[in-house]
Every structure is written in structure tokens, then in C-alpha cells.
Amino acid sequence: NGRPDKKSYRTYTVKDASMDDVRMMRHVIERWLKRQKEWPDLLLLDGGLVHLNEIYNLLSTEGLSDIVTLAALSKREETIHRMGLDDLVLDRRGRVLVFARDEAHRFVNNFHRKRRGRKGLADPLEAVEGLGAKRLQALLRHFGGRQGIEHASPEDLTAVEGIGPALAKRIWQEIH
């Protein structure tokens, strides 16, 4: 009915190491396809002809190119690209598609902002393999806080119960 269905919003963390916009979109669409039970009337991509061609090829290899209508909305001149059809430059009547794209940008930008904020709050010691909550607590008690741990040598770290030489070395490497 022309309004966002916010319960249906999904976020995907791109697990592909490439920082290529087209490949990242393909990765997300591949994961999205696996979870679909119902197909939408329109799959609207945020991009141009390159994005459209890549996702069309993906849908074709999956045998879905006839099931889902595919279009790409490029930012410049608000142009809709479709496979085998002429491009459309949107006027005021096409604002619902532009709104959908802008809402997707708003949602994903908030997601990334929150995610980056959480990363900034993460404790680097949580990444150390073999260092759980109890051992971390023992380190904090022994050294009186994070600064004490940061200034400790690997030999000092092994003085704490439950911290062996290998774990002490990993802790020291993570901090330094």
C-alpha cells in the first residue's frame, strides 16, 4: 500500500572479502534467494546496468529470471533500467520507487553506524582464543585493571592462574 513493511526489513553482513559493490550485491542476493518462500512482484536494485546484468545472470542460472521482475534504479536522473526494455526516467509518479531506494539507504546506513559503534566498544581481549570470562576476570584481579594487563610482559601474564605460556603470548600479541 505504498508504505514500508518494516517487519520485513533484513540486514546481511557481507562475508565475501571483495570490496566490489556488484559482487557484494550478488552475494547478498544469493543468500536472500535461499530464504525465499514467496517471490515479490518486483526486485528493485540500487544501481545501474552493471548491477542489473549481474543479478539477471544470477537469477537466470537459478532458473528464476521468469519468476521475478527485475529492475535497477540508478541515482543519476532517477532512471529505471530493465532487461530488454527501454530505460525510464522517473517523474513525480515514480516517487514511490525513489522513496523505496532512499528508505533502504536510510535503514542500511543506520545498521552500519550501529555496527561500527559496537566494534569501537569491543574489547580486544575478547578476540584471544582460549581467553574466556573467568580467565579475563583473573587477569583483571591480578593486574588491577586493563592498564596493568597492557604493561605486563608475557612472563608476568603466566603468573596468573590458568594462563599458560602460549595463552600469555597470544594475549600479549593481541594487546601489542
Q: How far is CA 37 from CA 32, 48, 126, 150, in A?
A: 10, 27, 38, 51
21, 52, 67, 57 alpha-carbon torsion, rounded to 10°: -80
What pLDDT, on the 0 to 100 scale, is given for residue 54?
A: 96
pLDDT of residue 33: 93
107 φ, ψ (degrees, to nearest 5): -65, -50
Would you write out the chain's pLDDT as a tens digit for each of its 176 residues?
A: 778 899 989 888 887 777 788 999 999 999 999 988 889 889 999 999 999 999 999 999 999 999 999 999 998 789 999 999 999 999 888 888 999 999 999 999 999 888 877 666 567 787 788 888 888 889 989 988 888 888 999 999 999 989 999 999 999 988 88
pLDDT at 122: 62
Residue type, 146: R
Q: What is the pLDDT of residue 76?
A: 77
- pLDDT, residue 87, reads 94
Distance CA 108, CA 114 (A): 10
d(CA 34, CA 163): 44
Residues recorded for the chain? 176
